Structure 1
Amino acid sequence: MIWLAIAVTAVGCYALKLGGLSVPERILRHPATDRIAALIPPALLGALVAVQVLADGRALVLDARVAGLAAAVALLVLRAPFLVVVGGAALVAALVRLL
């Protein structure tokens, strides 16, 4: 049964790749396609961050990770360097867990 699932997944991945390669050039050159393609990575990253910060299994959790995220957002608004943002978020989350 597991090999059937692996085979179906492999065929599906190949079909998805083939579908992407089969898109006509005129559609890829359209300005709307460029705008949509530029918005997809930030939306996916935001969704990933939300799930990692606010979820614990199937439950919604508000803990030190939320404080760390808030600190990271504040540091990003202040245009801090990336390492400062990561370090500051980790420090805030650690201090909140300590309390």
Structure 2
Amino acid sequence: MNATVVAVLALAVGTYAFRLAGPVLDGRVEIPPRVRSLLSTGAVVLLVALLATGALTEGHGFAGWARPAGVLVGAVLALRRAPFAVVVLAAVAVTAGLRAAGAG
């Protein structure tokens, strides 16, 4: 086996063990409410950071104004509880329209 196969197998075993830990430890380990709150907040912060990185950067620089505008339109529609297809299509339309107009 080469190093890539070993790395993939190690990650697969680690992922399975991590997923198995939840059901196995359920009821045996008590997590304080404060820690639960911090874990929830941490997950939101990580998702927002990932969104910001994907929306604002391309390669090693700024992605231009079209992509952040599309993400903003999608976020507003999602907050207004629009159907998912409408959110995606509106974000794509705004981004494509701005790129066609030369806004980048």
TM-score (norm 1): 0.65
Q: What does residue 78 of structure 2 align with?
A: 76
1:94 corresponds to which letter in structure 2? A
**Separation of aligned partners in 2, 1:48 and 1:38:** 16
* SS of residue paired to 2:78: helix
Matches within 5 A, 1:13-92: 25-27=29-31, 30-77=32-79, 79-83=80-84, 84-92=86-94
TM-score (norm 2): 0.63
**Separation of aligned partners in 2, 1:56 and 1:65:** 10
Q: Percent identity?
A: 30
> 1:93–1:26: structure 2 CA closer, same or farther, 3 Å change rule?
same
Task: Count matched residues.
Answer: 96
Q: Which has the higher helix share?
A: 1
Which consecutive segments of 4 or more residues in structure 1 shift more than 4 A?
Answer: none
Unaligned runs of 5+ in 1: none
